[in-house]
């Protein structure tokens, strides 16, 4: 819709969206993204209970890790209680120390910045690309060229004097960012890349899965993700030593012994319980089906929004998105707010993109590069319902658009 669209025309378009969404999801309240338990979830939970192994030691944890590693192409996977815990540990393992700096994006969920804060680090915010919603290589190159200097093989921020220890780009809503360029830039400055792939299970750059480009990556299996373990996360990496360390310190750093309790460093009680992993194993069996259905839903949305002149975020050329959450870009903050109010009143859940981290009290003092694209997107991006629908989708008729 253009900027001079009348209120009457907007309401008509908003109602058309509600009607179209109900043609996919039905007439009840439509959440943004719901879990789907229509496979072996109940049976695997019963098997887990019958085994008496319900906490962090159990066969399903190992099985789930193996399934995720095989699917993503990573050599190793370590299951954790949630994605935030996974990111905290990954940052620690790539060498982030207290008062280091971590480059990331301000257009992100709070968990990204919470995790690096747990490590005692300071976020530095670099702008995103409008077409990926992820950290922009051009903005990163400009920031590093202006602010970074090398000392003894490490990058330091000339403005703050702190070490630039890591970079955390995010594959936002499952849309792959330009991760290859980001990793190449960071390698030039000896900055470790930890991919925040929390939302991108099933997304690819070429034939390579997101999360396999950096030194480590993290996934999330929260209740609203493509697959869920209720709550859960995963660290993936190709580095055997880092994987072993991840498993060790997420299991309270306990030295293996049949009965003695010896812990030789500060560790975390971050391992995923077997019950949650049982859910994950059943969900992984259906992941290819989920991804195919979500791609179909995204295609339907694309045709519908094209008819209204509203851009729907699509995977950049050469990439494949899992379309975890559909995202549209409206004309203005005013149109965004009107759309949110109308749709939610009609029982169709929509939400704005996250408030920028620099607008939160905890991070408003942090260094950033102006964030022009991030600010523009914050005013315009809205998420729309993107679940796998109940049962089979009705036949798609483009002529009905």
The pLDDT of residue 392:
58
Kind and range of the H or E element at 218? strand 216-220
What is the rounded radius of gyration, in angstroms, for the C-alpha atoms of the chain?
22
* CA dihedral sign, ordered 52, 55, 56, 62: positive
Listed in sequence order, the DSSP H helices in 94-234 are 110-118, 137-147, 179-188
Residue 108 has which token pair? 């992100």
The pLDDT of residue 324:
97
Residue 16 has which token pair? 């058309």
Domain ranges of the chain: 7-34+287-400, 41-282
Going residue by residue through the chain (401 aa), what tens digit of pLDDT does each one get? 444 445 546 788 999 999 999 999 999 999 999 999 999 999 999 999 999 989 888 899 999 999 999 999 999 999 999 999 999 999 999 999 999 999 999 999 999 999 999 999 999 999 999 999 999 999 999 999 999 999 999 999 999 999 999 999 999 999 999 999 999 999 999 999 999 999 999 999 999 999 999 999 999 999 999 999 999 999 999 999 999 999 999 999 999 998 999 999 999 999 999 999 999 999 999 999 999 999 999 999 999 999 999 999 999 999 999 999 999 999 999 999 999 999 999 999 999 999 999 999 999 999 999 999 999 999 999 999 999 998 655 554 444 33
The pLDDT of residue 10:
78
Owner of token pair 């319980």: 273
The residue among 392, 342, 53, 74 whose CA lies nearest residue 210 is 74
Q: Which residues pair with 78 in a beta bridge?
A: 235
The residue among 283, 285, 278 whose CA lies nearest residue 62 is 278
Spatial distance between the Cα atoms of 216 and 197, rounded to a whole number of angstroms: 10
Asked whether this chain's domains 7-34+287-400 and 41-282 adopt the same fold, the reply is no
Residue 168 has which token pair? 């955390």
Spatial distance between the Cα atoms of 262 and 334, rounded to a whole number of angstroms: 59
For domain 7-34+287-400, is the CATH number 3.90.1150.10? yes
The residue among 338, 333, 340, 326 whose CA lies nearest residue 375 is 333
> 26: alpha, beta or left, given left = phi > 0 and alpha = psi -120 to 50?
left
- Proportion of the chain in helix, strand, coil states, percent, rounded to 5: 40, 15, 45
Q: Residue 231, CB half-sphere, CA atoms under 13 Å: how many? A: 8
Chain Cα centroid distance, residue 333: 24
Spatial distance between the Cα atoms of 49 and 8, rounded to a whole number of angstroms: 57
Owner of token pair 């965004």: 336
Chain Cα centroid distance, residue 16: 30
Q: Enter the DSSP assignment of 173.
A: G
The pLDDT of residue 44:
96
Q: Enter the DSSP assignment of 314.
A: -
The CATH code belonging to domain 41-282 is 3.40.640.10
């Amino acid at each position: 819709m253009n900027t001079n669209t009348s209120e009457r025309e907007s309401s008509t378009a908003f109602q058309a969206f509600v009607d179209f969404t109900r043609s996919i999801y039905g007439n009840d309240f439509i959440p943004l993204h719901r879990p789907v338990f229509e496979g072996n979830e109940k049976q695997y939970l019963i098997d887990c209970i019958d085994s008496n192994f319900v906490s962090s030691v159990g066969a399903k944890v190992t099985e789930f890790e193996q399934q995720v590693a095989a699917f993503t192409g990573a050599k190793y996977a370590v299951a954790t209680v949630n994605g935030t815990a996974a990111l905290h540990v990954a940052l620690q393992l790539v060498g982030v120390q207290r008062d280091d700096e971590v480059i990331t994006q301000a257009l992100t969920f709070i968990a990204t910045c919470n995790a690096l804060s747990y490590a005692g680090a300071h976020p530095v915010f670099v702008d995103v690309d409008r077409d990926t919603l992820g950290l922009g290589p051009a903005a990163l190159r400009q920031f590093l060229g202006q602010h970074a200097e090398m000392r003894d093989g490490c990058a330091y921020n000339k403005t703050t004097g702190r070490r630039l220890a890591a970079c955390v780009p995010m594959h936002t809503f499952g849309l792959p960012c330009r991760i290859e360029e980001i990793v190449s830039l960071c390698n030039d400055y000896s900055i470790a890349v930890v991919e925040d792939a929390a939302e991108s299970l099933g997304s690819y750059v070429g034939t390579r899965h997101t999360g396999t480009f950096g030194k480590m990556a993290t996934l999330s299996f929260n209740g609203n993700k493509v697959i869920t373990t209720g709550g859960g996360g995963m660290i993936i990496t190709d580095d055997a030593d880092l994987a072993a360390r991840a498993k060790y310190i997420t299991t309270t750093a306990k030295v293996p012994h049949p009965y003695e309790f010896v812990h030789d460093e500060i560790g975390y009680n971050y391992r995923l319980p077997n019950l949650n992993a049982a859910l994950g194993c059943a969900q992984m069996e259906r992941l290819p089906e989920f991804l195919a259905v979500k791609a179909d839903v995204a295609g339907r949305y694309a045709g519908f929004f094209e008819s209204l002149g509203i851009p729907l975020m699509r995977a950049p050329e050469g990439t494949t998105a899992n379309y975890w959450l559909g995202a549209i870009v409206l004309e203005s903050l005013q149109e965004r707010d009107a759309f949110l109010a109308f749709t939610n009143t009609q029982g169709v859940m929509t939400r704005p993109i996250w408030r920028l981290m620099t607008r939160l009290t905890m991070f408003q003092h942090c260094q950033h590069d102006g964030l022009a694209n991030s600010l523009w997107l914050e005013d315009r991006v809205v998420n729309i319902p993107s679940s796998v629908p109940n049962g089979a989708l009705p036949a798609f008729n483009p002529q009905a658009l």
